[in-house]
Structure 1
Amino acid sequence: MRLSGAWMADPGTQAVCAMLVVAGHEALFVGGCVRNGLLHQPVADVDLATDALPDRVMALAEGAGLQAVPTGIAHGTVTVVANGVGHEVTTFRRDVETFGRHAVVAFSGDVAEDAARRDFTINALYARPTGEVLDPLGGGLRDLAARRVRFVGTAHDRIREDYLRILRFFRFHAWYGDDATGPDPQGLAACAALADGVDSLSRERLGTEMRKLLAAPDPTGAVQAMERAGVLTRVLPGAQAHALPRLIAQEGDAPPRWQRRLAVLGGRDTAEALRLSRADSRQMAAITDDIGPDGPGPAELGHRHGAWLAADIVMARAALTATTPPPRWREEIGRGAAAEFPIRATDLMPDLQGAALGAALRSLHARWVASDFTLTRAALLDTLRGREGLDP
């Protein structure tokens, strides 16, 4: 099997490979770029593994006129920038001692030792700049073809080295696994047995993994497996996966948005549970505040939140209530989003000022929304007649 792709042929990437190969060192693409390249999926980051020691990589890069940044040099990683793109070049490593998310490593000249310390077999695939694919442990290519996410070595050992791998197991299944056969039984059993290790992870790391997992085209199988293994409630206390399949069905061709999926899983408290950013927390609050069955209709939602967030709310509400959205709901959202309140503050000034002005504007706006955006400026101003000094 051979690897190919435009990303491999990039002049900057080839220059980084050449600086190593010409000096007699290995230059092996590794991890996500190989995995995604073989699956004909987009490649975001290009990582390389080499037998050259970090100081040697720095020297070779500088000699080739490339920028070298010691981003993780103590652990063997140098970022080599070529044509404005960073390439992480990491020396082959083997674990000496592991504890949590940290490990004592030693540099190695053996790619098989480097592969043995990786998390999943589909991430332990390498490729030469020529496209020749290497599977040092055996089984990685077979697992990739079967869409099977399987731990390298013993699942329990890999998880005890880093409990974040529990979340990564489900996240990688969401993106690369086969729901027809389900998650790897040994991996799933190990995740269930060691689920209490999730409690040792920071909420920010859990949030990062959940965002990535829920951004998959259809994360239903992975989330349901998390629930069965007792992992979902460790991440999101009180979360339930029953409405997620309905939401995915509602989405149709809509772009996946992890926020709407997270709202269906866990509600408003998920923002705090996962330490989401302020912007993401505001989006979650907007969805969950109006998600109830008695909440605003599509047109009002469109006016309140804009088209895409309103669509999140309509789809999430339908999923949670096991109903279908109202007829022409997308058109109604668009109509509400385009509606413009016909009253300006200057229409009520100088007769009304300060708090009285604000209260009047809010009251008129509520009347206008309740009229389904039909009340005209004149009709709205008529409702204020009788106020002292207000010109009718």
Structure 2
Amino acid sequence: MTPPANPATRFDAPATGAVPARISGGFLDSPALGRVLAVLTGAGHQALVVGGAVRNALLGEPVADIDIATSAPPDETMRLATAAGLRAVPTGIDHGTITVVAEGAGYEVTTFRRDVETDGRRASVAFSDNIAEDARRRDFTMNALYADASGRVLDPVGGLPDLAARRLRFVGDARERITEDYLRILRFYRFLAWYGRGADLQALAACAELRHGLAQISRERIGHEMRKLLAAPDPAQAVALMAEAGVLSLVLPGADPGDLPELIEAERDFGTGALPVWPRRLALLAAHDAAGALRLSRDEAREQHQIALALDLSGPAAAYRFGRITAAQSVLIRAARGIAPPFGWCHALARGAAAQLPIAARDLPELAGPALGQALKRAETAFVDSDFCLNAQDLRQIALRAQGHPDIHDDA
């Protein structure tokens, strides 16, 4: 769910030491959240905000989703919520998840769990009333943090020191966590890009050793993770580590991250405005078949193809043929590869995107069929090459001359 408008939080205590960490403000002030937690704790159960909301609050980052973990079994969560006049939807009851709606806001409430059996893609779970068991089945220590309604943080697996150091570490043994779900390899690099400054050496070694397990993961899930990874503020180091471990070549054959740091620098130098981030970075990597490897949508695949074509054109020509956004993406990629955009390039792209060919088929009644198509294509090429300056009369002469029409002479 979307948190309240004020995202301010405070990390009242250091991540190390005897005094427990505490968060305050922001999403904790939501009456709807307080009501859901109170329904469960009032019946004697633990009910805690868990995972990303706690992590981001402690880091001072925006909180996008608020998940709740509880010792109450799912049917008990349903019963208590309904009795309190809240809407309870069994969105994932087999896995212990109930969506509880309070004051129009939906919260996923999941019973504490422990893994019973895993196969590298999914896990069979058993419900638990033990927070430590629930924490031990999570992926990274910084994601295994819990907070009660007062903001007091519970840290069953030592995630606070890791969070304070921005150190990404698996819960327990890295190999065990990965073999439970091989997608965690990509999640490791994604979280490193977003939240990490350093990576646990055991984690890096385990990702490299077990990388071939990613063959068990669907391309749709891999694509989902790669989109998020490439959307990080600066994914260059994480992607470089992926390449070093042999992971990048498995998920994106042919990808070359060598110019990614320069692209990040170009983005900072020239600005990106509202331009989509991950498509540009994916295009820079120039994988052999990114659309197939990541199961891109038809629109996403077309965008990648157009950016690749735009790289061989001037900025204004690219804007004319593919639109301003695609042209801007190509300009930034070219800048990363050492071709700096000229002064006023934004205005040049706007001019190219707004340009319209001054002639159409009706202006060439002398021609038909393939000859007409070829003539219009020649005229359009001349129009673009002239920086959109040629007028309709000039272009008509070029079109007909290109076809060797007898009524057009060089001195006309």
TM over 0.5, shorter chain: yes
Structure-2 residue corresponding to 1:148 = 167
1:360 positional shift: 4.3
> In the superposition, relative to structure 1, how do residues 4 and 342 fare at CA in structure 2: closer, same or farther (>3 Å)?
farther
1:389 positional shift: 11
State the secondary structure of the residue aligned to 2:138: coil
Task: Give the alignment of 1:176-255 within 5 angstroms.
Answer: 176-178=195-197, 182-252=198-268, 253-254=271-272
Moved more, 234-243 or 275-284: 234-243
Measured against aligned partners, the alpha-carbon deviations of 1:291-327 in whole angstroms (never above 9, x if no partner) come to 2xxx1111111112222211111221332x4343334
Q: Does 1:158 align with 2:177?
A: yes
Structure-2 residue corresponding to 1:318 = 335
> In the superposition, relative to structure 1, how do residues 297 and 54 fare at CA in structure 2: closer, same or farther (>3 Å)?
same
Among 314, 322, 325, the alignment partner of 1:305 is 322
Moved more, 336-345 or 378-387: 378-387
Query: When the two structures are superposed, what TM-score results if normalisation uses the length of structure 2?
Result: 0.86
**RMSD over aligned Cα, in angstroms?**
2.2
Q: Percent identity?
A: 56
Kindly provide the amino acid, as one letter, of the partner of residue 186 in structure 1. Q
Query: When the two structures are superposed, what TM-score results if normalisation uses the length of structure 1?
Result: 0.91
> In the superposition, relative to structure 1, how do residues 372 and 214 fare at CA in structure 2: closer, same or farther (>3 Å)?
same
Moved more, 359-368 or 211-220: 359-368
1:61 positional shift: 1.8
1:343 positional shift: 2.8
Moved more, 72-81 or 330-339: 330-339
1:258 positional shift: 0.8
Between the aligned partners of 1:153 and 1:59, the Cα distance in structure 2 is: 35
Measured against aligned partners, the alpha-carbon deviations of 1:258-296 in whole angstroms (never above 9, x if no partner) come to 1111111133511111111111101111112232xxx11
Between the aligned partners of 1:266 and 1:81, the Cα distance in structure 2 is: 44
Between the aligned partners of 2:368 and 2:291, the Cα distance in structure 1 is: 38
1:203 positional shift: 1.3
Among 375, 393, 396, the alignment partner of 1:381 is 396
Between the aligned partners of 2:285 and 2:42, the Cα distance in structure 1 is: 52
Maintained 8 Å contact 2:50/2:69: yes
Maintained 8 Å contact 2:115/2:124: yes
> In the superposition, relative to structure 1, how do residues 388 and 61 fare at CA in structure 2: closer, same or farther (>3 Å)?
farther
Q: Which runs of 5+ in 1 are unaligned?
A: none
Between the aligned partners of 2:363 and 2:89, the Cα distance in structure 1 is: 60
Among 42, 59, 71, the alignment partner of 1:22 is 42
Moved more, 112-121 or 367-376: 367-376
Maintained 8 Å contact 2:112/2:129: yes
Measured against aligned partners, the alpha-carbon deviations of 1:161-185 in whole angstroms (never above 9, x if no partner) come to 111111111100000001xxx3211
1:21 positional shift: 2.1
Maintained 8 Å contact 2:208/2:246: yes
Between the aligned partners of 2:371 and 2:91, the Cα distance in structure 1 is: 58
1:382 positional shift: 4.1
State the secondary structure of the residue aligned to 2:167: coil
Between the aligned partners of 1:87 and 1:233, the Cα distance in structure 2 is: 38
1:385 positional shift: 6.3
Kindly provide the amino acid, as one letter, of the partner of residue 149 in structure 1. L
Among 65, 77, 84, the alignment partner of 2:104 is 84
Moved more, 374-383 or 256-265: 374-383
Between the aligned partners of 2:213 and 2:287, the Cα distance in structure 1 is: 24
Kindly provide the amino acid, as one letter, of the partner of residue 249 in structure 2. T
1:345 positional shift: 4.8
1:19 positional shift: 1.8
Maintained 8 Å contact 1:170/1:223: yes
Between the aligned partners of 1:324 and 1:33, the Cα distance in structure 2 is: 40
State the secondary structure of the residue aligned to 2:65: coil
Kindly provide the amino acid, as one letter, of the partner of residue 90 in structure 1. T
Between the aligned partners of 2:37 and 2:372, the Cα distance in structure 1 is: 67
> In the superposition, relative to structure 1, how do residues 100 and 385 fare at CA in structure 2: closer, same or farther (>3 Å)?
closer
1:353 positional shift: 6.2
Moved more, 327-336 or 139-148: 327-336
Q: Does 1:126 align with 2:142?
A: no
Structure-2 residue corresponding to 1:271 = 291
Maintained 8 Å contact 2:310/2:326: no
Structure-2 residue corresponding to 1:288 = 308
Kindly provide the amino acid, as one letter, of the partner of residue 283 in structure 2. A
Kindly provide the amino acid, as one letter, of the partner of residue 328 in structure 2. A
1:59 positional shift: 1.4
Between the aligned partners of 1:208 and 1:71, the Cα distance in structure 2 is: 21
Maintained 8 Å contact 1:241/1:265: yes
Between the aligned partners of 1:31 and 1:5, the Cα distance in structure 2 is: 17
> In the superposition, relative to structure 1, how do residues 352 and 132 fare at CA in structure 2: closer, same or farther (>3 Å)?
same
Between the aligned partners of 1:183 and 1:325, the Cα distance in structure 2 is: 36
Measured against aligned partners, the alpha-carbon deviations of 1:40-85 in whole angstroms (never above 9, x if no partner) come to 1111111000011101111122222222111110110111122333
